Amino acid sequence: MVVEAGDGTPEKIEEIARLERSQLRPEELGMTLAEAKGLMHDMQQTMVTKQIEEYVAQFETCPHCSTQRTRKGQHPIIYRTLFGKLNLISPRFYDCSCQNQGRHSSSPLAQLLTTHCAPELQYLETKFASLVSYGLSVKLLTEVLPIADEINYTSLHRQLHRIAERIEGELGEEQFQFIEGCPNDWAKQPPPGPPLTVGLDGGYVHASDQKSRTEGWFEVIAGKSVQTEGGAKVFAFVNKYDTKPKRRLYEVLRSQSLQMNQQVVFLSDGGDTVRDMQTYLSPESEHLLDWFHITMRLTVMGQMVKGITAELKPDTKCPETATVLADMEKHLESVKWNLWHGNVLHALQRIDDLDDDLEMLEENPANKKKLLKAVKEFRSYIEGNQVFIPNFGDRYRHGDTITTAFVESTVNYVVSKRFVKNQQMRWTKRGAHLLLQTRVQVLNDDLRGTFCRWFPGMKSEEQTALKDVA
């Protein structure tokens, strides 16, 4: 390694490694991972030593009168990097008497290295722990980098929380409404882009404080905002834990350059939380119950009817039962047809018919009570959400979005893949919420950009790629 100083002092040459080969075998062509790790590690030590020497040297004399500053001792700093842990010495200097008469002192190196971990290592740790489990991240990073025994489950976990808290700290305050300006201002805005479609849905995560196997889940809301042309962004939070859900969603829309005169279509399954958070974000917003959740409930009821039919096997001996069951199928079909056309009133009547059908059924099949409960719940679901039920058929013919099925997969993509698949894992609300924040940054390809903003010397992936081409 050749170290060239800018001030004309002679260059210094240091030997870093020596790689030896004899008879060529495929596995010895080029460097092995172990050699590369050793090389990186030793090069890092040498390079950092020189950088620190030069940096500290600037503070040894007073910049105003060139007097040597007096040292007031030193203390060790352990600094973790991609290529190994460094044991640095941070000297403390008294201020020069020409500047400060008191006995004030400072440690320039400690002030420079406020976090004892290199930004790029923080980035990689956060990125992988957001994608796969903490344990697997440790295995992966220690396998490819010379940092064996320097990271573990606990340090990674803590690191990710620190980054997530910094991200959270940048999120503005919650507001009741985010609509800016007045209709006059909106009219003056340039023509907006095509509508944004936002889908919201919930998923469940195992709580760490659960009392039994069946208890102790908490809800996570995940959503996706899709631009008609191009990009989509995901967001997520722990329901009833997050204090700024509306601000969170607003910032996603803003990052997609939402204009106040732009149309936003919100699709959800109609829970209070999602309904509340999507109001007062845009004057041009439309709130719809999504077709996917409606059909899901109808399908479940349809299966119950089929189950009852299979159980009772009505034949010519009990024509009344056969008629009732046939009516139920017919009424279910009609409920679906009416809802598809936005005819809520008729749909509600057909749901009441279903209720009556069940009352008329003299037999007591296994699922009768369950189906009765499902029908009643469905009725209040449709009644409670009737203002959000559009003419789906019309929208469909015009090519407008009618379903958040794309969000159902978002819940899987954002939440389940990291939180639910490993059934052993239990989460605190805080832990889950923080991990969700770094995870959406990774999934949205925003994490690197966030780090580049915090540490301007860090190159974005694009810049790095361009340099490689050049």
- The dihedral over CA atoms of 279, 281, 285, 287, expressed in degrees to the nearest 10, equals -30
Measured in degrees and rounded to the nearest 5, phi and psi for residue 177 equal -140, 150
Among 1, 98, 112, 387, binds Zn ion (CB under 5 A): 98
Using the minimum distance from each CB to Zn ion, give the nearer residue, 62 or 298: 62
Q: Closest approach of Cβ 92 to Zn ion, in Å?
A: 17
Does 95 sit near Zn ion (CB under 5 A)? no
d(C-alpha 263, C-alpha 282), whole Å = 8
- Between 62 and 348, name the residue whose CB sits nearer to Zn ion: 62
Count interface residues toward Zn ion (CB under 5 A): 6
Stretch that binds Zn ion, among 62-70, 83-91, 180-188, 218-226 (CB under 5 A): 62-70
Which of these segments, 66-74, 336-344, 373-381, 394-402, binds Zn ion (CB under 5 A)? Answer: 66-74
Residues numbered 172 to 201 that lie near Zn ion (CB under 5 A) are none
100 binds Zn ion (CB under 5 A): no
- Of 64, 211, 397, 467, which one interacts with Zn ion (CB under 5 A)? 64
Can residue 43 be called a binding residue for Zn ion (CB under 5 A)? no
**Among the candidate windows 89-97, 234-242, 306-314, 422-430, which touches Zn ion by CB under 5 A?**
89-97
Rank residues 65 and 296 by Cβ distance to Zn ion and give the closer one.
Answer: 65
CA–CA dist 284, 260 (Å, integer): 7
Q: Nearest to residue 335, comparing CAs of 353, 356, 323?
A: 353
Stretch that binds Zn ion, among 98-106, 220-228, 392-400, 424-432 (CB under 5 A): 98-106
Sign of CA dihedral 417, 420, 425, 429: positive
Which of 322, 301, 320 is closest to 372 using CA atoms? 301
DSSP per-residue codes, 309-328: HHHH---TT-HHHHHHHHHH
Paired tokens of 11: 């260059």
Under rule CB under 5 A, residue 112 binds Zn ion: no
User: Which of the ranges 59-67, 167-175, 276-284, 303-311 carries the binding residues for Zn ion, by CB under 5 A?
Assistant: 59-67
User: Smallest distance, Å, CB 241 to Zn ion?
Assistant: 54
Which residues have a Cβ under 8 Å from the Cβ of 417 and sit 6 or more positions away? none
Q: Between residues 67 and 303, which has the closer beta carbon with respect to Zn ion?
A: 67
Minimum CB separation of residue 65 from Zn ion in Å reads 3
Q: Smallest gap, in angstroms, from Cβ of residue 69 to Zn ion?
A: 8
**Which string of b and e fits 309-346 if b means at least 16 CB within 10 Å?**
beebebeeeeeebbebbeebeebbebbbebbbbebbee
- Closest contact distance (angstroms) between CB of 227 and Zn ion is 58
What tokens appear for 82 in the block?
A: 């991609």
* Residue 182 token pair: 């007045």
> Does 65 sit near Zn ion (CB under 5 A)?
yes
Single residue of 16, 36, 77, 96 touching Zn ion by CB under 5 A:
96
Q: Are strands 196-206 and 105-106 parallel, antiparallel or unpaired?
A: unpaired
Q: Which x/- pattern, by CB under 5 A, does the window 351-390 give for Zn ion?
A: ----------------------------------------
Comparison of 93 and 123: residue with beta carbon closer to Zn ion: 93
SS3 of residue 102 by DSSP:
coil
Residue 15 CB, nearest approach to Zn ion (Å): 40
Single out the residue of 62, 298, 326, 458 in contact with Zn ion (rule: CB under 5 A): 62
Q: Which region, judged by CB under 5 A, interacts with Zn ion, from 60-68, 70-78, 322-330, 439-447?
A: 60-68
Q: What is the 3-state secondary structure (H, E, C) of 251-309?
A: HHHHHCCCCCCCCEEEEECCCHHHHHHHCCCCCCEEEEECHHHHHHHHHHHHHHHHHHH
Concatenating the DSSP letter of every residue in 103-128 gives: --EE-HHHHH--SSB-HHHHHHHHHH
The residue among 92 and 275 lying less far from Zn ion, judged by its C-beta, is 92
Q: Is 437 helix (H, G, I), strand (E, B) or coil?
A: helix
Q: What is the nearest approach in angstroms of Zn ion to the Cβ of residue 68?
A: 10
Is there a contact between 306 and 332 (Cβ–Cβ < 8 Å)? no
Residues at the site binding Zn ion, with contacts judged by CB under 5 A: 62, 64-65, 67, 96, 98
